[in-house]
Amino acid sequence: MVFESIFGREEPAENKEEFIEITTEGEDKRRVNIRIENLGDYRDVEGVQRLLREGNIVFLRIKKLKERDLGELKRSVERLRRTSVAMNGDIIGVDEDYLILTPPNAKIHRGELEPKVE
């Protein structure tokens, strides 16, 4: 111990604390908005596409269009599906009256809930 204080020997490396500074510059800190919209007719598809491209999650009510014109609904949903696939987003039908569309940074989990471990 006397020799260590004279010769200035360092403590073993395992006792030293090391700190590593982590920067979060690469992370996306934007807020993701969830928009609730109605699909009244085919013209509304452009607005929904714009919201999706801006990075919003869109919860889309389709009940009115489904009751009025099923052919127009199919055409609208197909156009939204193509847009979603082209931008690596996701789309899913919920119940019979709603669609959820997500941008590329959000995915829809289609599996069952994992059981809780107690």
Q: How far is CA 63 from the centre of its chain?
A: 25
pTM: 0.67
Amino acid at 92: I
Burial 35-47 (b: 16+ CB within 10 A, else e): eebebeeeebbee
d(CA 112, CA 12): 50
| Local confidence band at 110 (pLDDT 50, 70, 90 cut-offs) | confident
Does residue 44 sit in helix, strand or coil?
A: helix
Report the distance separating Cα 26 and Cα 23, nearest Å.
Answer: 8
Largest interatomic CA distance in the chain: 93
Of the candidates 30, 63, 53, the residue with the CA atom closest to the CA atom of residue 101: 53
Q: What is the pLDDT of residues 55-91, one digit of tens each?
A: 999 999 999 999 999 999 999 999 999 999 999 999 9
Residues in the chain: 118
Domain boundaries, given as residue ranges, for the chain? 34-102
Instruction: Just give the CATH number of 34-102.
Output: 3.30.110.150
Per-residue pLDDT averaged across 86-102, rounded?
93
